[in-house]
Amino acid sequence: MKAGKWQNGILAGLPLLLSALMVWHFSIVLLHVLPFNPLTNKYRNVVEAYVNPFFTQNWHLFAPDPVSHTKTIYIQARVKGPDGKLVESDWVDITTPLITANWEERLSPVNRVMRFGVGAFSQAFHQDDVINMFEEKKKQANKQDLKLPKEDIELLDEYRKQGVALLYRYGFSYVPKYFAGRDVESIRLRVTIKASKPFSQRHNQNYQNEQQYVEFDWKEYEPVVPAI
């Protein structure tokens, strides 16, 4: 049985379509992993919408800026007791159980879930490359009267606020798991940042890793889709 003209057309056009899709995909991924520049900034929204959450990548594994800190997210809740009074819970580590689960089962969505919280925290304190370069040049030129366009500052501020909102939403998603059956009024989050042990101190059993933390304000609990 011979194929019709439209079938021949599909078979002939399929390689071209697949080639175009591959070019599109790898072009977007390339824009995603390239260092910050005017082109990546221009198409940032399109790129982020395409790569997240399945194709996102970064260069943190490699020099000159490999990951050098471990971030752990904790959640604390204000719970209404039988007498109606609010009681603060202990701090609950919601990161370590995910890391353990990821070690036990590599082929699972746990890795993505784990990175979501840390990614939201990084967004909340995002440092824009252009703004950093501008501030450095201003310092070198000793011209304190130079100012960035208001739009750029507002854009960065809004981006950081979105990161804080995502982090709280991440915390909300764990309320049903860690405070099941309890009347949660509000939550707050704490992120500890622990520096890795320097290579030069690898044999020093008494070395104390530098550690600091960021603590967020209380926020009224909003039910969301529970975490896994």
Task: List, run by run, the mean pLDDT of 10-residue segments along the chain (228 residues).
Answer: 64 83 89 74 80 67 62 93 91 91 80 80 71 57 56 73 90 94 94 84 84 91 88
Cα dist from 47 to 34, 40, 126, 131, whole Å: 11, 8, 18, 21
Token readout for 73 is 């997210």
Question: Which one-letter amino acid corresponds to residue 126?
Answer: H
Is residue 76 within 8 Å of residue 91, measured between CB atoms? yes
Per-residue DSSP letter, 43: T
Q: Is the dihedral of CA 81, 190, 102, 221 positive or negative?
A: positive
Element (DSSP H or E) covering residue 117: helix 110-124
- C-alpha–C-alpha distance, residues 70 and 196, integer Å: 7
Which pLDDT belongs to residue 1? 47
Please report the beta strands in 25-154, taking only residues with DSSP state E, as ranges in sequence order: 69-80, 86-88, 92-93
Which pLDDT belongs to residue 16? 85
Which pLDDT belongs to residue 134? 53
Q: Which residues contact 146 (CB under 8 A, 6 or more apart)?
A: 134, 138
Which pLDDT belongs to residue 182? 92
Q: Report which of 53, 41, 49, 47 is spatially closest to residue 26, judged by C-alpha positions.
A: 47
Does the pTM surpass 0.75? The reply is no
Q: Which residue has the tokens 């993505």?
A: 112
Per-residue DSSP letter, 64: T
Q: Report which of 177, 171, 160, 161 is spatially closest to residue 219, judged by C-alpha positions.
A: 171
- C-alpha–C-alpha distance, residues 219 and 81, integer Å: 18
Is residue 164 within 8 Å of residue 215, measured between CB atoms? no
Q: Report which of 163, 181, 164 is spatially closest to residue 219, judged by C-alpha positions.
A: 164
